[in-house]
Amino acid sequence: MMDWTDRHCRYFHRLLSRHALLYTEMVTTGALVHGDVARHLRFNAEEHPVALQLGGSEPADLAHCAQLGEQWGYDEINLNCGCPSERVQRGAFGACLMAEPQLVADCVKAMVDVVDVPVTVKHRIGIDKTESYEFVRDFVGAVSEAGCQTFIVHARNAWLQGLSPKENREVPPLRYELVYRLKREFPALVIVINGGITTGEQVAAQLRELDGVMVGREAYHNPWWLASWDEGFFDAAPAGQTRESVESQMVDYMARQAVEHGTPWPSIARHMLGLRHGLPGSRRWRQVWSDHKLKTLHPREVMALAHAPAWASEVGTSRPVTDLAHA
């Protein structure tokens, strides 16, 4: 989810569900040790609960970055041991770390020793063509002894050679039964499953076996699904939003971000393009919000154009259309 689940995306998703735990995109230790900490760690207070996902393999650097995450107010620190991309492998972290469970344990212990918030690990069920349950069992066993109590398990192997990250989400077979077996063998641990889950029915089925479900791309591309989660999975009142109210709040947010941080609205609007997924007129609505020729307009005017009758869009940004935004 690199370059996807930034703070603007998370603000949008929080409007849809008050209770889902949100995760940042992976932030490398190098970016925090040598880069602009505020740019990488700044988030909106409305995002809570929110977890900071780190990528790295040096215990001291991870401990330092975990402390930064806690100081900035994150509710959880997550170590990514699941990303299979070659760029991540060149940095000696991500899924390739599963081959070194003791190093991961050392990294976890270094973080656990310096922060009070939970330290969790996201990983695969195996790497390359190694499909033995014992491999992932021994990984979880070693890392749990270092103080990790929550494991988020993508139920596919990561093939470190020959597959793109996209293919790594599709080609290696899903093997949910290995994740269920982990829960049976480690009943005291929190085991969360990830991979191939796209419907509420599938989530409910997984929750009968496990402690939680992580959803990535389906939540991004079909975000309105999140609006059903509070009532369906948290036994809580729904957020009570409509698509239109969410869009309007995002427009207000875009305006604030422009004033406070100079953020252009298209870099925020891109995250909500799936909001009207499956509805009549959704294609034209997406086209308006994706039209960079409109980037000089106030986002409230863009929203008016997106909801104007199809014939009205032909007049572009003439006064009769834009005035509608200020009625």
CB distance 214 to 192 below 8 Å: yes
b/e per residue, 191-228, with b = 16+ CB within 10 A? bbbbbbbeeeeebeebeeebebbbbbeebbebbbbbbe
Active-site annotation holds for 148: no
Tokens of 245: 């109210």
Which residues is 194 bridged to in the sheet? Answer: 154, 214
| H-helix or E-strand spanning residue 89 | helix 86-90
Which positions ≥6 away from 118 have C-beta within 8 Å? 75, 76, 77, 149, 150
Tokens of 21: 């735990």
Q: Is 147 left (phi over 0), alpha (psi -120 to 50) or beta?
A: left
Which residue reads 């230790």 in tokens? 29
| H-helix or E-strand spanning residue 156 | strand 150-158
- Find the catalytic residue in 9, 65, 81, 83: 83
CB distance 303 to 247 below 8 Å: yes
Looking at residue 21, the DSSP 8-state letter turns out to be: P
Tokens of 223: 């975000």
Looking at residue 50, the DSSP 8-state letter turns out to be: E
Tokens of 260: 């406070």
Catalytic residue numbers, as ranges? 83
